[in-house]
Chain A
Amino acid sequence: MLWADKYRPKELSSLSYHKQQALDLRNLTKDGDFPHLLVYGPLGAGKKTRIMCLLRELYGPGVDRLKVETMNFTTPSNKKLEISTVGSNYHIEVNPSDVGINDRVVIMDVIKNVAQSQQLNANTQREFKVILLTDVDNLTKDAQHALRRTMEKYIANCRIILCTTSISRVIPAIRSRCLCIRVPAPSIDDITSILTNVAAKESVSLPPELAKRIAEKSDRNLRRALLMCEACKVQKQGLVASQSVSEPDWQIFIRNIASKIVKEQSIATLAKIRENLYELIIFGIPSEIIFNTLLEEMLKNCDLELGRQIVEQAALYEHRMAQGNKEIFHLEAFVAKCMCLYQNMMQELMACEF
């Protein structure tokens, strides 16, 4: 079992950071009821952990008995869909964007199914079930509108918890129907102390310098920090203060793309980069992360003026990308623009020299 799962807090009271928020969540469920929730925050900040703690607070230890189920759906055009769900007797967790553009069918069917079955004994249990939808920002607009309608219709029998990294792609109509809860990323000190605690529980000695370095490298992503730490342990059979922390492979891949942009500005490179971007997308790296990493890597190669221009362009294309789901169009436009800007700068430099 991974450390990240093994030492995941199970109670709201045992959470190790954002203690005030934990208290608020506890107060929220005191009456045994809560509104629809929209939990958002960066990767590895502990959104899921908090949601599960909340459910446990509400339903007791029964929510830990998870079962994985595969649900089947048929689209109106007779296409068969399959999606795997995780759930207990009290809740069900679905990631509707697994089925791509057919997510609307999944949302409508899942909610209807859950809402139609009443709890047997409403006195000992709650009278509603909880549907947990993850990666809501990847839902199509169509699905979000469907969600909006069903949310209102079935509020008597179910509560919906939405989990997302950014609410900018969630339509306002949904935002206004939910209580939005932001889970900020833990600070580097938080991560360091958690790493030290976990290492102590695993009875592995973790040098403080290494803990600090991992925390800094992890992008304030707690899960990644824990995984990094465990990976370091596996690589060296123990933890040494001087050991290097490796970066994920896709990050290196994106760095290569950035260096290709700088090295040669031509149509052929652009075509090659398109292939690379497709690879990344197919592998499943979220497009925002591709974009951000690419921008960071580009800026490392630029002086201040060029950097300003590139950031300006990045803002434009990132905004466009957030509106739709054909990321590749905007990514490629950004890459092409970067190439042009870089080429311009080089030409100006040449002109100055002569």
Chain B
Amino acid sequence: MKKTGNKWLGLSLDLENGAQNGHPPKPAIPSKNGTSDLSPVPKKRSFNFHQRLAPKTVPDLAVHSKKIAEVEHWLQNNVCDNKNNSPNAKFLLISGPPGSGKSITIQVLCKKLSIDITEWVNPLDQDFEVCRGANQVTRFVEFLTESKWNSLFSTGNKKVILVEEFPNTFLRNCDEFGPVLEECYYKGNYPVIFVCTDTFDNKINLSEKLFSEDVRVKYKIATISFNGCAPTLMKSALKRAQNLVQGNPDLFKIPSQSTVTAIISTAMGDLKCALNQYYFAALLGTSDLPTIQTQKSGTKRKRDSSTSIQIMSRDENLGLFHALGRVLNPKLGENGRLACDFDRLVNEFTTQPGLFTGFLFENYLKYFGDLVDASQASENLSLGQTFLEKLVDRHDILDYAIWVSVLGLMVHNGHKVSRWNQIKGPTKVQKVVPNREVPVTDLYYYNVINNKTNSGFVLS
């Protein structure tokens, strides 16, 4: 139920020694993708690819070094030097898309700083819950606030609590989470790290639902959000995998370079997915596997033309720049109507309407060929902006802002300019902190009186 130290890996029988006796092979892939059923592979010996590949040291992590530093900084400040601060428990929320290396970063860093991890795992014995009454939430609180599960092998007294799974009841009523945090905030002895996987569906997006802005402020929850694994980092991770594969020629063959590039482009930042695919591509073939592999890589090369028959790749999601391109360069369908899946486009960005409209505003002018069009579009952007400014936390209104801006830009762009333009990020307005004595509007006279010619404001 509760376990200490590194995560257990299913029924991991690492039979490297016993494998010679011709044991029936164990597919060592987590059955997450449902693919392990597809491989009734007679293997020579079992080989825990993922365990062998898991990074053990910081340089091996396929995470941006700044993110690692950020997490390490937090750990050092809040776990290692715990003397100078308040009695309240510390919280850290790590969020990011699946397969971006959130969990492994924590594990590796904690190992480096010799911090013990105690992880919450949802209890499986539902019967117990029914008979004895103590429900999941109570036990969750108990787990967070009390510290009776110390590891027998613990090296020091530094410890963090890791929560990757949340009791299911919070999914149904997220209001219950508030009191839990509150109790834990005042009673808890150890820092708590929450790990949340981002999803694009708002209904199950834990990091938004459970940790709303108010909650984060109230309990001083530090937030670090991971990005998807960058292609270069993924490449180096696959390189490590390749070294491992090379060391075991009796089990694996080295996949071709084109397959590797195809894997990287299909994975869309999901390292876990990429490694699974690589593992499959590298397995020395039985009758089943190679066919899957060829079919897979075949579709991957054609990824741009059709995305329908991918077996193991993830759903395609629209990148920011992709979406901006669609809005700024609207395509007309056959019947003269706009050809675009608005619903999907808008849904992708409902979590950050301000950012998206900011991008649109910064760049739309370059795509307009006519002043009247541009004026109407800017009118729509300005209208959309008023929706954003209202102090509402209702999602619908924020949605309207995107709808108005997106449709306004697309409908009014009658004379579009089709050429390549560099997309610029929204301009950050950093106001000069004004002089206390004189307001900015009168600064000119102040400078005249003091014979300062340089007013800081350039007349161009």
Q: Which residues of A does B touch, CB under 8 Å?
A: 2, 5, 43-44, 68, 76-78, 84, 86, 98, 100, 141-142, 145, 221, 223-224, 227-228, 230-231, 234-235, 246, 248-250, 252-253, 265-267, 270-271, 274, 276, 278-279, 281-286, 289, 317, 320, 323-326, 328-330, 332-333, 336-337, 339-340, 343
A-B contact pairs, 22 of them (CB 8 A): A2-B438, A44-B442, A77-B216, A77-B223, A86-B436, A223-B439, A230-B445, A231-B445, A234-B449, A234-B451, A246-B448, A267-B365, A271-B365, A282-B429, A282-B430, A283-B432, A285-B441, A320-B385, A323-B386, A326-B389, A329-B385, A340-B371
Which residues of the other chain, B, contact A230 by a CB distance below 8 angstroms? 445, 449
Pick from A84, A100, A332: contact of B436, CB under 8 Å: A84
Q: Which of chain A's residues has its CB closest to B434's CB?
A: A284
B430 contacts A250, C-beta separation under 8 Å = no
B216 contacts A76, C-beta separation under 8 Å = yes
Which residues of the other chain, B, contact A279 by a CB distance below 8 angstroms? 457-458, 460
Smallest CB separation, A90 vs chain B (Å):
19
Task: Please name 12 further chain A to chain B contacts, defined as beta carbons within 8 Å, in addition to the given A250-B441, A252-B459, sorted by A numbering.
Answer: A43-B439, A77-B222, A224-B445, A234-B451, A246-B448, A276-B460, A279-B458, A282-B429, A320-B382, A329-B385, A336-B375, A343-B371
Q: How far is the CA of A86 from the CA of B370 in the complex (A)?
A: 52
Q: Which of chain A's residues has its CB closest to B221's CB?
A: A76
The reply on B149 being an interface residue by CB < 8 A is no
B interface residues, how many (CB within 8 angstroms):
54
Which residues of the other chain, B, contact A84 by a CB distance below 8 angstroms? 436
> In the complex, which of the residues B223, B388, B389, B433 has the most CB atoms of chain A within 10 Å of its own CB atom?
B389
Knowing A234-B451, A336-B371, A337-B375, the reply to whether A227 touches B446 (Cβ < 8 A) is yes
Q: Encode B360-394 as 1/0 by CB contact (under 8 A) with A.
A: 01000110111110110011011101101111000
Which residues of the other chain, B, contact A77 by a CB distance below 8 angstroms? 216, 222-223
Chain B residues numbered 181-225 whose CB sits less than 8 Å from any CB in chain A: 216-217, 220-223
Q: Which residues of B does A touch, CB under 8 Å?
A: 216-217, 220-223, 361, 365-366, 368-372, 374-375, 378-379, 381-383, 385-386, 388-391, 427, 429-434, 436-446, 448-449, 451, 455-460
Q: How far is the CA of A252 from the CA of B381 in the complex (A)?
A: 29
Knowing A227-B449, A270-B365, A320-B383, the reply to whether A278 touches B375 (Cβ < 8 A) is no
Which residues of the other chain, A, contact B444 by a CB distance below 8 angstroms? 248-250
A284 contacts B448, C-beta separation under 8 Å = no
Which residues of the other chain, A, contact B391 by a CB distance below 8 angstroms? 141-142, 145
B385 contacts A339, C-beta separation under 8 Å = no
Q: Which of chain A's residues has its CB closest to B392's CB?
A: A141
B361 contacts A329, C-beta separation under 8 Å = yes
Which residues of the other chain, B, contact A286 by a CB distance below 8 angstroms? 441
> In the complex, which of the residues B388, B441, B448, B456 has the most CB atoms of chain A within 10 Å of its own CB atom?
B441
Q: How far is the CA of A141 from the CA of B434 in the complex (A)?
A: 22
Knowing A141-B391, A267-B369, the reply to whether A78 touches B222 (Cβ < 8 A) is yes
Which residues of the other chain, A, contact B223 by a CB distance below 8 angstroms? 77
Q: Which of chain A's residues has its CB closest to B219's CB?
A: A76
Q: How far is the CA of A205 from the CA of B445 in the complex (A)?
A: 20
B441 contacts A339, C-beta separation under 8 Å = no
Which residues of the other chain, B, contact A282 by a CB distance below 8 angstroms? 429-432
Main SS of the interface on chain A?
Answer: helix
Q: Which of chain A's residues has its CB closest to B431's CB?
A: A284
A227 contacts B438, C-beta separation under 8 Å = yes
Q: Which of chain A's residues has its CB closest to B365's CB?
A: A271
Q: How far is the CA of A84 from the CA of B441 in the complex (A)?
A: 20
Q: How far is the CA of A289 from the CA of B442 in the complex (A)?
A: 12
Pick from B371, B431, B432: contact of A100, CB under 8 Å: B431
Smallest CB separation, B163 vs chain A (Å):
19
Which residues of the other chain, B, contact A289 by a CB distance below 8 angstroms? 441
Which residues of the other chain, B, contact A68 by a CB distance below 8 angstroms? 436
Smallest CB separation, B446 vs chain A (Å):
6
Q: How far is the CA of A246 from the CA of B458 in the complex (A)?
A: 17
Q: How far is the CA of A2 from the CA of B220 in the complex (A)?
A: 45
Q: Which of chain B's residues has its CB closest to A228's CB?
A: B445
Knowing A227-B446, A270-B374, the reply to whether A333 touches B382 (Cβ < 8 A) is yes
Pick from B217, B375, B445: contact of A227, CB under 8 Å: B445
Which residues of the other chain, A, contact B455 by a CB distance below 8 angstroms? 249
